[in-house]
């Protein structure tokens, strides 16, 4: 398929996991992709895997100067931008009673403030037909033990899409949320271990974790004109976890 032929995309958190899978799918469908992340080694490996239609820019979504550098690179090489996948995220567990200010700041700086400025700084390069995709989470809908900050931040992301759909009226730019459930990224598998993977897999009706490629396919749908009458929507790719 070439649903994204000639399109230019930015994917934050694009070196690994869901972001890398989305970059791979976008390129397969004809897009030119800029991936953005904090670790140069991971970025270099990703570009080597993705091929000549990928570029990497090192930086953090919580640093506005880094985001300026990203979009300057996009403008210099491509001129305009069609797709923003604000995918970079952070989250760790701390139960109520142990939550710290530092934990809140780290989570919200990346997941909320980082998402806001990733999108806001992209807008001058975007035009009619543009697609903005925000990474939410099933944790933004359901309660998850010890994930107060993370769940709250992802609930905020869902509301950003609804508010921005109103703000973007008349521009022809759509904004939607892609909300994964537990996903079998290399990082997740390493952190959870075999028993943890089994436990997470048992939580949803499909009895398994998602493959990153399945999230990449859903992101490609939201990026393409196949979703042309969708905005302010949340697409749950969670095996039914938050739906029943």
Q: What is the pLDDT of residues 182-233, one digit of tens each?
A: 999 887 787 788 888 888 889 899 999 999 999 999 999 999 999 999 999 9
Flag whether 52 is in a domain.
yes
Q: What is the CATH number of the domain that holds 65?
A: 3.40.50.720
Output the pTM of the full model.
0.96
pLDDT of residue 10: 99
Flag whether 242 is in a domain.
no
Pairwise CA distance, residues 184 & 212, whole Å: 7
Flag whether 195 is in a domain.
yes
pLDDT above 80: residue 137: yes
Flag whether 3 is in a domain.
no
- 154 tagged catalytic: yes
- 71 tagged catalytic: no
Looking at 35-44, 95-104, 194-203, 225-234, which range is the least confident one? 194-203
Flag whether 96 is in a domain.
no
DSSP label at 125? G
| pLDDT, average across residues 28-41 | 98
Q: What are phi and psi of 89, to 5 degrees?
A: -155, 165
- Count CB-CB contacts under 10 A for residue 136: 29
Q: Which of 150, 162, 169, 198 is labelled catalytic? A: 150
Going by DSSP bridges, is the β-strand pair 83-86/131-135 parallel, antiparallel, or unpaired? Answer: parallel
Question: What percentage of the chain has pLDDT greater than the value 70?
Answer: 100
Going by C-alpha positions, the residue among 169, 188, 237, 216 that lies closest to residue 26 is 216
The residues, any chain, with a CB within 8 Å of residue 184's CB and separated by 6 or more, are: 197, 209, 210, 211, 212
Pairwise CA distance, residues 115 & 215, whole Å: 18
Flag whether 98 is in a domain.
no
Domain count, the chain: 1
C-alpha 98 chain-centroid distance? 28
pLDDT of residue 188: 79
Flag whether 97 is in a domain.
no
What is the residue range of 223's domain?
Answer: 8-91+103-237
Q: Which of 7, 24, 71, 154 is labelled catalytic? A: 154
Flag whether 164 is in a domain.
yes
Structure tokens belonging to residue 47: 């570009």
């Amino acid at each position: 398929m070439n649903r994204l032929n000639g399109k230019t995309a930015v994917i934050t958190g694009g070196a690994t996991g869901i972001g890398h899978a989305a970059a791979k799918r976008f390129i397969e469908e004809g897009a030119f992709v800029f991936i953005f992340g904090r670790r140069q080694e991971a970025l270099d490996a990703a570009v080597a895997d993705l091929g000549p239609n990928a570029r990497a820019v090192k930086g953090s979504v919580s640093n506005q100067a880094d985001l300026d550098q990203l979009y300057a690179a996009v403008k210099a090489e491509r001129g305009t931008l069609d797709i923003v996948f604000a995918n970079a995220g952070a989250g760790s567990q701390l139960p109520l009673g142990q939550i710290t200010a530092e934990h809140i700041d780290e989570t919200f700086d990346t997941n909320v403030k980082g998402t806001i400025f990733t999108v806001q700084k992209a807008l001058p390069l975007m035009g009619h037909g543009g697609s903005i995709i925000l990474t939410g989470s099933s944790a933004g809908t359901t309660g998850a033990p010890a994930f107060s900050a993370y769940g709250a931040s992802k609930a905020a992301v869902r509301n950003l899409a609804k508010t921005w759909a109103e703000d973007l009226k008349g521009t022809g730019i759509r904004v939607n949320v892609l909300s994964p459930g537990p996903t079998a990224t290399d990082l997740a598998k390493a952190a959870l271990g075999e028993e943890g993977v089994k436990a997470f897999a048992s939580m949803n009706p499909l009895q398994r974790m998602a493959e990153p490629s399945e999230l990449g396919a859903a992101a490609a749908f939201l990026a393409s004109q196949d979703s042309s009458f969708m905005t302010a929507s949340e697409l749950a790719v969670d095996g039914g976890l938050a739906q029943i």
